[in-house]
Structure 1
């Protein structure tokens, strides 16, 4: 960026090459794009994501109902391959056999996950059920939806800015290769006579 500003200041100098001006203009255009287009892309992505997530929130709250489950007994232990990343999660939760009454009045029994504090027979805890009475995850709330939408918008803006900057770097690299190629050509012409008396050097 500083190089482009310096080039722009000495653009009328005879030492300023065409490739220098091109680099300055490309940098100026990329700065404008990062300043204006990247936030616009982020805002658009965040708005569309928020609308989609709000619709999911509405549907989930329509289809999922809270109910109280009662622990019957601990679920039988299953042989699993140890996973260090899941160890803390397994330590905080327990698999239990529980019974619950769905929103339509039907009774169900099945294996569910609860925390260790409510894992004893007779303990009660809240679960969410779908239209078939099966236990499902808690529906997303509006705050979570807005947070995810904001993260998506920020990510889209950052990715757009990175794309523009990556394009600028590719153009600058191409310009540098052209400069080196022209320098090699000029040196090839002047090189054989360099330093000779009467060679015009």
Structure 2
């Protein structure tokens, strides 16, 4: 931005080349697009993602049901410890074979789920099932939808800013390439006569 302000102040200076002005305009437009375009892209992406995720959350909450299941068999492994030298027991984890009745047809179903706590055979607990009685994950909540849409908006805004900055750098690189090409042409024209007295006459 200091380059833009400086070139605008000295725009009538004969030492200010056309490529300098182009570079300043590129910097100005890139700054404006990043300041306006990146937040706009983030907000639009967050809004669209939020609507889509809310629809998905409503569908999942309508289709999935909590039902009681009974543990048939358990396979528990010792929990992981962050410090092997610690004597504190880790959290048990493993899989449990369970049996439950389908919410729609009342037919018995069996399956296996992952657990992070000790479950004894015969113990009852609640699981999530879909409309056909199959085990499924917990439905997405509105809070989770908002969190995911916020992350999507932030990623879209950061991605837009990155793309704009890369485009500015490529454009400045092209301007610099043309500038050096013109310098080479000028040096090829006046270089052989450099330092000779009276060559300009």
Q: TM-score if structure 2 supplies the norm length?
A: 0.86
Q: TM-score if structure 1 supplies the norm length?
A: 0.86
Alignment deviations for residues 36-85 of structure 1 (CA, whole Å, 9 cap, x no partner): 121111111110100000000000001100112211112599xxxxxxxx
Alignment deviations for residues 78-119 of structure 1 (CA, whole Å, 9 cap, x no partner): xxxxxxxxxxxxx7531121111221222211222222322x
> 2:50 aligns to what?
50
Alignment deviations for residues 160-188 of structure 1 (CA, whole Å, 9 cap, x no partner): 11111111111111111111111111111
Which ranges in structure 1 are unaligned for 5 or more consecutive residues? 78-90
Q: Is the 8 A contact 1:75 1:111 kept in 2?
A: no
> 2:172 aligns to what?
172
> 1:198 aligns to what?
198
> 2:118 aligns to what?
117
Which ranges in structure 2 are unaligned for 5 or more consecutive residues? 78-90
**Cα RMSD, aligned residues only:** 1.9
Q: Is the 8 A contact 1:69 1:124 kept in 2?
A: yes
Is 2:184 aligned against 1:184? Answer: yes
Deviation of 1:195 (Å):
1.2
How many Å separate the matches in 1 of 2:15 and 2:126?
A: 76
1:11-160 aligned at under 5 Å gives the runs 11-74=11-74, 93-104=93-104, 105-118=106-119, 120-160=120-160
How many Å separate the matches in 2 of 1:17 and 1:125?
A: 77
How many Å separate the matches in 1 of 2:92 and 2:7?
A: 61
Count of residue pairs brought into register by the alignment: 187
- Give the structure with the higher percent helix: 1
> Equivalent residue of 2:37, what SS?
helix
Q: Is the 8 A contact 2:76 2:93 kept in 1?
A: no
Deviation of 1:125 (Å):
2.6
> 1:5 aligns to what?
5
How many Å separate the matches in 1 of 2:122 and 2:184?
A: 85
How many Å separate the matches in 2 of 1:31 and 1:92?
A: 53
How many Å separate the matches in 2 of 1:8 and 1:124?
A: 76
Q: Relative to 1, partners in 2 of residues 1:143 and 1:92: Cα closer, same or farther, differing over 3 Å? A: farther
